Structures are given as C-alpha cells and as structure tokens.
Structure 1
Amino acid sequence: MSENQGPISFFKNHWQGYKEFWGERFSFLDNYSKIIYSEKPLPHWDSSVVEEFIASDPVHGPTLKTAREAAQFGMVGAAVGAITTAGYAWKWSKSPHGAALSFAFGAAVGGTFGIEVANHWYQLYRLDTMASQVKFFEWLQKRA
C-alpha cells in the first residue's frame, strides 16, 4: 500500500462488500452489458425482423418464438386482472382512485399469473430464453 493512500473508510469498505455481494447474485445481467452499454444503439426493429431471425437461426429461433408466445399469456393475464379488479372496485366503492389502484394491482398480479401459466404451458424452465434474446440482439447489431 502506498503512503498516498490512507486506510479505506468504514463506509467505503462496506459499500464495496455490498457491491460484491449483489454483483454475484445478479451476475446474469452481465449477459446484457454488451448490449446495454454498446457504442452504437440498436437499430429499430419490429416483429418482421424478429420473424426473420427466428427463420434464420435453427438453435435460438424456436426458443425466441416460444418466449414471444409466452409473453402473450402475460399480456392477456394483465388485461383480465386489471379489468376485473377495477370493475369490482368500481362496482362496490364508486371510488375513482380505488378503481385506478386496483386496475394497476390487478394488472401486476394478472400479468404475473399469466407468465406463470405460460412458464408451465410452454415449459420455459427447460429453455434458455435469455441466451436466445442475447443472440437476437447480437444478430441485430451485426445486421445493421
């Protein structure tokens, strides 16, 4: 240790430990770091570009297609949950802020339930959906 550096302060030492602790638990986010912190932004893409990737990649394409189909379960679950909980809240209380809060809560719970149903329906626990998404973004960058 050089003489210019003093001892590390108590708070700085704990902050470094905190960052290491959570860094280990969220290390899977490093897969996305090259996409999030890239020098040039990703080009605009839509569903036709995704379909082109699905057709061109025999390994990660079907996994990405399955993940996209599973996301529709979540959207339907969120819509059903939001509308039904807001409807019940409005029916019984006639409170606009209560209906708005129950709409948001119903969307969150319904969307989560929809994703869980899709997880079992499509058996997503057997697939590496994150790897297929990263491959899609890499393909998109190479294509640009």
Structure 2
Amino acid sequence: MSETEESKSFFRKHWGGFKEFWAERFSFTNNYSRFLDPEKPLHEWDSSVVQEFIESDPVHGPVLKKARQAARFGVAGAAVGAISTARFAWKWSRSPHGAALSFAFGAVVGGTFGIEIANHWYQLYRVDPMAAQVKFHEWLEKRA
C-alpha cells in the first residue's frame, strides 16, 4: 500500500469503495450526463418555444405535446391525492404530523395514478416520450 492510502481514514477508504461499487452498477446514468450536467447551459425557454418545436417537428412534436399534457394529469392527481388524504387524516386524528405525512404520501400516490391514467388516455405506452424530449433538447442546443 502507498503512504497516501495508508493515511486515509477508515471512512474515506470505505466510501471510495462504496462509490466505485455503485458507480459500476449504475453506469447507465453516464448516458444522461449531457442533460443533467451540460457543458454550457441552455438558453431560457418557455411554452412558446415548445410550441414552435411542436409545430416544426412532425414526428416528435405531437409526442412532446402529449407528454406535456400527461404531466398536467400527474400534477392534478398529486393535488387531489395530497388534499384528500391529508383532510381524511386530519378529520380522524387531528394530528398535524399525521396530516403532513398523509399529505406527502397522497401526493406521491395521486401523482403516480395521474401519470398512469394519462399514459392510457393519451396512449403514451405506444410511443417514446423520452425520445421526443431528447429531440427537443437537441433542437434547443442547435437553436442557440
């Protein structure tokens, strides 16, 4: 062993091994590094820019539009789930921490159900929404 490795603390040695272990198993995350940590940030964009992409790309535009509409289902489902479960918990227990926990749990479950309903409503299981979002990202990079 080298002197630098001997001088490392017990925690640092094991943390390095832990990071290598999980980095090897989750190596597919390197595929997304250009989206999560880009070399230069994208310019500001809003719904008008998205609409411009939807109109310009006949293949991925409609898919992106459906994916954005599906996200609204998820938000609505999360709101309904959070409010209804927190109200139910507060009604029966009058416990602030219980209502807060049920609010969070209801948001997760309601959002999940909202997204699943949207996937079937817009038939997103037949297409690849991620590919449309990647094309939109590439289009933004070229546009800048």
Pick the TM interval, shorter chain. Answer: 0.7 to 0.9
Match runs of 1:1-144 below 5 Å: 16=20, 18-23=22-27, 27=28, 29-144=29-144
User: Partner amino acid for 2:35?
Assistant: I
Deviation at residue 132 of structure 1 after TM alignment: 0.7
Give TM-score scaled by structure 1 length.
Answer: 0.81
Q: How high is the TM-score relative to the length of structure 2?
A: 0.81
Identify unmatched segments of 5+ residues in structure 1: 1-10
Q: Which segments of 5 or more consecutive residues in structure 2 lack a partner in the other structure?
A: 1-13
How many angstroms does 1:19 deviate by?
3.0
Is the partner of 1:112 in helix, strand or coil? helix
* Aligned residues of 1:63 and 1:132 also touching (Cα < 8 A): yes
What is the alpha-carbon distance in structure 1 between the residues aligned to residue 98 and residue 21 of structure 2? 42
Contact 1:61 1:132 in 2 (8 A): yes
The Cα shift of 1:17 comes to 5.4
Deviation at 1:13, TM superposition (A): 7.6
User: Aligned-pair distance for 1:126?
Assistant: 1.1
Residues 69 and 31 from structure 1, CA distance in 2 versus in 1: closer, same or farther, beyond 3 angstroms?
farther
Following superposition, the deviation at residue 113 of structure 1 comes to: 0.7
Cα offsets for 1:79-104 (capped at 9, x unmatched): 11001001001111111111111111
Stretch of structure 1 that moved more, 134-143 or 14-23? 14-23
- The 1:95–1:49 alpha-carbon spacing in structure 2 relative to 1, beyond 3 Å, is same
Backbone CA RMSD of aligned residues: 2.1
Give me the whole-angstrom Cα distance separating, in 1, the residues matched to 2:64 and 2:129.
6
Identity among equivalent positions (%) equals 68
Partner of 1:8: none
Q: 1:32 Cα shift?
A: 3.0
* 1:43 partner amino acid: H
Q: Post-superposition shift, 1:122?
A: 1.4
Aligned partner of 1:4 in structure 2 is none
Q: How far off its partner does 1:22 sit?
A: 2.7
Deviation at 1:115, TM superposition (A): 0.7
